[in-house]
Amino acid sequence: MATCPGCALLCDDIEVIVENNRIKETKNACRRGAARIKGCINRLEPKIAQKPSDIESAVRKAAEILGNAKSPMLFGWSNSTCEAQVKGIQLAKKLGAIIDDTSSFCQGLLIEKLLQKKFRTCTLEEVRNKADVLVYWGSDAQDSEPRHLSRFSYFPRGESRQRGYEEDRIAIAIDVRESNTAKICKGHFYRIQPKGDREFILALIDALSGKVPAYEPKKILELASILKKAEYGVIFAGIGLTYSIKDDFDILVALADKIPNFHIMPMVGHYNMRGFNENLFKETGFVNRVKFDGKVVHDNRYSIVEALREKSIDALLVAGSDPLSSLPRSLVRHLASIRVICIDPCVTMTSKIATVTIPCAVSGVESGGTAVRMDGKIIELSKIIESDYPTDEELLSRLMGAL
Number of residues that bind ligand SF4 (CB under 6 A): 13
User: Does residue 301 contact residue 307 with C-beta atoms inside 8 Å?
Assistant: yes
Does 10 interact with ligand SF4 (rule: CB under 6 A)? yes
Does 7 interact with ligand SF4 (rule: CB under 6 A)? yes
CA quadruple 334, 336, 337, 342: dihedral sign: positive
Write b or e for each residue in 317-345: b if 16 or more Cβ atoms lie within 10 A of its Cβ, otherwise e.
Answer: bbbbbbbbeebeeebbebbeebbbbbbbb
Question: Contacts with ligand SF4 in 373-402 (CB under 6 A)?
Answer: none
Q: Residue 29 or residue 192: which is nearer to ligand SF4 going by CB?
A: 29
Cβ within 8 Å of residue 122, ≥6 positions away:
234, 263, 265, 375
Q: Which residue among 2, 16, 33, 270 contacts ligand SF4 (CB under 6 A)?
A: 33
Question: What is the closest distance, in whole angstroms, from the C-beta atom of residue 149 to ligand SF4 in the complex?
Answer: 10
Does 258 interact with ligand SF4 (rule: CB under 6 A)? no
Question: What is the closest distance, in whole angstroms, from the C-beta atom of residue 267 to ligand SF4 in the complex?
Answer: 12
Residues 89-128 as x/- pattern, contact with ligand SF4 by CB under 6 A: ----------------------------------------
Residue 278 to residue 281: CA distance in whole angstroms: 5
Question: What is the closest distance, in whole angstroms, from the C-beta atom of residue 364 to ligand SF4 in the complex?
Answer: 9
Helix H, strand E, coil C: the string for 343-395 is EECECCHHHHHCCEEEECCCECCCECEEEECCCCCEEEECCCCCCCCCCHHHH
Q: Residue 32 or residue 309: which is nearer to ligand SF4 going by CB?
A: 32
Question: What is the closest distance, in whole angstroms, from the C-beta atom of residue 270 to ligand SF4 in the complex?
Answer: 11
Question: Contacts with ligand SF4 in 137-176 (CB under 6 A)?
Answer: 145-147
* Site residues, ligand SF4 (CB under 6 A): 4, 6-7, 9-11, 29-30, 32-33, 145-147
